[in-house]
Amino acid sequence: MMKFITVCTGNICRSPMAEGLLIDLFKDNPKIKIDSAGIMDYHPNSPPDKRAIKVMKKYGFDISHLRARQIKAEDLIPQENLIFAATSSHIQSLKQIKERVGGEAKIFLMREDKKIDLPDPWYGDIEDFESTFEILNKELLPFVRQLGVSS
């Protein structure tokens, strides 16, 4: 069973938005599990930010049922786990955990092709959440599609 895990800081803005897109992409493939997590445990069990829910809903994706959690060491263990991180600083934290536990999960940036960070919209306004959606749609989705895992 492959698992795709999107990761950001708080797991209430960028990663649940990315998770919503991947849930839709793989909705007909029961062998792929989609999940998300935060590096920090700032908002345990919280739903996504209202602005993230609103922008995703506008484009037809319901993420209101998702709940925030912190990344766990076991997320980094199976080689079937593919992790998509919002920024290079998240990647550094994930690699530290992976090395500590001898994990084999594969770690990518959400903007892997451009190798740049996805900015944090949390301190911004609705336009920043629109921009987050656009970037994920234009960059993360094509990258995930070309991995060759059938959706």
Tokens coding 1: 């069973």
The yes or no reply on residue 10 touching ligand 4NP (CB under 6 A) is yes
Binding part of the chain for ligand 4NP, among 6-14, 21-29, 59-67, 76-84 by CB under 6 A, reads 6-14
How many helices, marked H, and strands, marked E, lie in the chain?
5, 4
Least distance CB 85 / ligand 4NP (angstroms): 10
Active site residue 111: no
Q: Are strands 2-8 and 81-85 parallel, antiparallel or unpaired?
A: parallel
The yes or no reply on residue 110 touching ligand 4NP (CB under 6 A) is no
Least distance CB 84 / ligand 4NP (angstroms): 13
What order do you get walking across the sheet with 81-85 strand by strand?
A: 32-38, 2-8, 81-85, 106-109
The yes or no reply on residue 112 touching ligand 4NP (CB under 6 A) is no
The yes or no reply on residue 20 touching ligand 4NP (CB under 6 A) is no
Binding part of the chain for ligand 4NP, among 9-17, 55-63, 71-79, 95-103 by CB under 6 A, reads 9-17
Least distance CB 4 / ligand 4NP (angstroms): 17
Q: What is the C-alpha to C-alpha distance for residues 78 and 45, in angstroms, rounded to an integer?
A: 24
> Considering CB under 6 A, how many residues would be counted as binding ligand 4NP?
10
Task: For residue 134, count other CB atoms closer than 10 A to its CB.
Answer: 12
84, with CB counted inside 10 A (0-12, 13-18, 19+), is buried
Residues that bind ligand 4NP (CB under 6 A): 8-14, 42, 120, 122
Catalytic residue positions, numbered:
8, 14, 120
